[in-house]
Amino acid sequence: MKLEDDFCGKEYIKITLVCLSPDKCSILKGPAEEKRLVEILRDDYCISRYEKMLQLVIKEKVAEDYQDFCFQMFSLEALQEAFEKGKDNVTGSYLRNVQGKMQKVTAAIYPRKLGNKGKLEEFMLYVYSQK
């Protein structure tokens, strides 16, 4: 395990940078199959790369009982609303498939860049487990 994989007693499973304009989603640390997935997502005028990735990952990796919760928590609308209200992060815990086993993880989302009138432009998403 590398030093950056374990910080403050947390094991980071996935770290993602999401830029809404331009439409870009980069997995800085995470499973290889999810990194490949992000690379092949095509541009679509109806849905962002982040939303496409979210749909695929939640359906494939998150326990069925937690999928609705995750869709709500990670939705751009919910994130925008939370950050407009002055929250400095959004967090939640759920069961996720990690290396073939279901494991309780926590996701924390932090705004990185807010534009005009507080519109969310860029954020970081961390998925980790406690040791």
Residue 5: pLDDT over 60: no
- Domains of the chain, each with CATH number or no CATH: 3-130 (3.30.450)
Give residue 6's pLDDT.
47
Instruction: Identify the residue whose tokens are 């982040």.
Output: 50
State phi, psi for 20 to the nearest 5 degrees: -85, -25
CA dist 62 and 36 (Å) reads 18
Residue 43: pLDDT over 80: no
User: What percentage of the chain exceeds 90 in pLDDT?
Assistant: 47
Amino acid identity at 23: D
Structure token digits, residue 20: 């809404």
Residue 96: exposed, middle, or buried by beta-carbon count in 10 A (0-12, 13-18, 19+)? buried
How does the average pLDDT of the chain come out, rounded? 85
How many residues make up the chain in this entry? 131
SS3 38: helix
pLDDT tens column, 77-122: 999 999 988 899 999 999 999 989 999 999 999 999 888 877 889 9
pLDDT tens column, 59-88: 999 999 999 999 999 999 999 999 988 899
